[in-house]
Amino acid sequence: MSQLPLRSLVVLALFASASAWAKPPAPAAFCAKYPTAPTCVGTVPACTYCHVAAPQRNVYGTALETWLSPGATRPLSDGDFTSALPAALTAVEGLDSDGDAVTDLTEIQRGTLPGDPNSFPTDIPCAGGVNPEYKVCQYDLKYVYRKLLLDFCGFSPTYGMIKTFQALATDDLKRTFLDQELDRCLGTDFWRGKNGTLWKLAHPKIRPVGSLKAGVEDQGQIPLADYYDDYALFTWAHTDDHDVRSVLTADFFVARSGSNPTVYTPVTTKSTQRIDQAHRAGNMTSAWTLTYFVMFTALPRNAASQMYRAYLGLDIAKQEGLYSVATEPRDYDAKGVQAPACAACHATLDPLSYPYRNYNGLSGGQNLWNTYQPNRLETFFANQGATLAMTPESGVIFNQPVTSLMQWAQVAANSDAFLRATATDYWKLLMGHAPTAEENAEFVALWQALKTTHNYRVKPMLHQLIRTEAYGAP
């Protein structure tokens, strides 16, 4: 080997290079078209990009070949090859030559091999192709029909129903049928009736306590407030063509009547509610919320943190949703919240709580319970420290100053956090788990569309949800 002249080595190297590529200009022409492809950055594609062993092509090379000056006499000259290659590359960009569920162009851009089904980007849902046994990553209309009826109507379709469904001539007809079935189910008591699915969705937000239930229906031993009103507003806001933000912003109540169908109707007054219209903020100011979460406290941190957690998905106790206000916490009620272990959370929580300062739980005479009381702290908590009365009604949520609880509710209801939390509830309900990393793209599209496409209506969002791969692939 050492006896070989340098010239022979160069010839050998050139020959090896030429034989590896059926066409020596191929790598350069490829990289001229895709200069930012990872395989072209500081290197050129290996021969195996298009070939099993040159000149035998792999599936990607074969796909290219059919678009390379079709009809022209073979072999092409290097010049003809080079001028024909860009168009052929373009022609196959949308194909998935190796069947790994990722297009050739995406594979080129992402640096995986378009001719090797075992090489694919790992962060693309369903990349790697189809699992034939479970049809993973294949949206399955029949599967959706079964699941939809079970999830939204509460029963499985009969054999006859499945047969009728399968007999629909096209996938479009099946999709239309599924949309109709969804609408039908959303009107049933299984979905919207007393103790139905939507009520269950509301349980962790309302946190009912049977012994404290007031009202003619299911009254407890110590009847303090009727939380069925909270369920009624929640269900109204989440159904039909209603704005889901109403659950936080409504200045009205909702009455429930009948069954199959259960009917929810907005009303301006209700015997079980005491808050005056000018100070209402949906379920944030319901008799039950004020009774149970404000109760006897001066500064209702518990009410503010529960609303933040229940409707915005942010649990301050878990360090979620912290937007510290620089001058806080001021500790008006002398609870020691300026201690280092507390200050981090209370710099967010306390200014969230101030707008609740005049919302009365169970202080004073019973006729004053669950009402808005100007000077509530001064009236009922005069003996609880000198600075308590200095507690402002203005607060801060998500770094935005607000002057009232109604403004707090507006900022909250218009936030991305509210959209995400609302969509997350349904995702968990219908998928059985919070969105996974693989499902994230579909999940983000869903909660963003709740605002941009669906104008804060849950119903069209659910129609979008049943079309996601996360919902429809077994």
Structure tokens, 9 = 């080595």
Single residue of 92, 102, 225, 421 touching Ca ion by CB under 5 A = 102
Q: In a 10 Å sphere around its CB, with 0-12 CB exposed, 13-18 middle and 19+ buried, how is residue 50 labelled?
A: buried
Residue 213 bridge partners (DSSP): 225
CA–CA dist 78, 69 (Å, integer): 13
Which C-beta is closer to Ca ion: that of 39 or that of 262?
A: 39
Q: How far apart are the first and last CA of the chain?
A: 61
Which C-beta is closer to Ca ion: that of 34 or that of 228?
A: 34
Which C-beta is closer to Ca ion: that of 136 or that of 449?
A: 136
Of 51-59, 91-99, 158-166, 294-302: span binding Ca ion (CB under 5 A): 91-99
One DSSP character per residue, 153-181 reads: ISSPPPHHHHHHHHTSSSHHHHHHHHHHH
CA–CA dist 191, 51 (Å, integer): 57
Which C-beta is closer to Ca ion: that of 30 or that of 293?
A: 30
CA–CA dist 110, 121 (Å, integer): 7
CA–CA dist 433, 438 (Å, integer): 13
The count of residues interacting with Ca ion (CB under 5 A) is 7
Which C-beta is closer to Ca ion: that of 120 or that of 308?
A: 120
Of 51-59, 100-108, 165-173, 272-280: span binding Ca ion (CB under 5 A): 100-108
Work out how close the CB of 338 gets to Ca ion at its nearest, in angstroms, rounded to a whole number. Answer: 58
- Give yes or no for residue 425 binding Ca ion (CB under 5 A): no
Single residue of 69, 109, 119, 219 touching Ca ion by CB under 5 A = 119
Contact between residue 234 and residue 198 where contact means Cβ atoms under 8 Å apart: yes
Of 93-101, 352-360, 388-396, 414-422: span binding Ca ion (CB under 5 A): 93-101
- Give yes or no for residue 96 binding Ca ion (CB under 5 A): yes
Instruction: DSSP letter for 291, please.
Output: I
Structure tokens, 13 = 């190297």
Q: List helix spans (H) across 104-167.
A: 104-110, 141-148, 159-166
Work out how close the CB of 102 gets to Ca ion at its nearest, in angstroms, rounded to a whole number. Answer: 4
Which C-beta is closer to Ca ion: that of 100 or that of 350?
A: 100
Single residue of 34, 98, 299, 363 touching Ca ion by CB under 5 A = 98
- Give yes or no for residue 100 binding Ca ion (CB under 5 A): yes
Instruction: Look at residue 160 and give its three-state secondary structure.
Output: helix
* Binding characters for Ca ion, 51-90, by CB under 5 A (x = yes): ----------------------------------------
Work out how close the CB of 124 gets to Ca ion at its nearest, in angstroms, rounded to a whole number. Answer: 10
Torsion angle, alpha carbons of 288, 290, 292, 294, to 10: 170
- Give yes or no for residue 120 binding Ca ion (CB under 5 A): yes
- Give yes or no for residue 442 binding Ca ion (CB under 5 A): no
CA–CA dist 427, 134 (Å, integer): 22
Residues lying near Ca ion in the complex (CB under 5 A): 96, 98, 100, 102, 113, 119-120
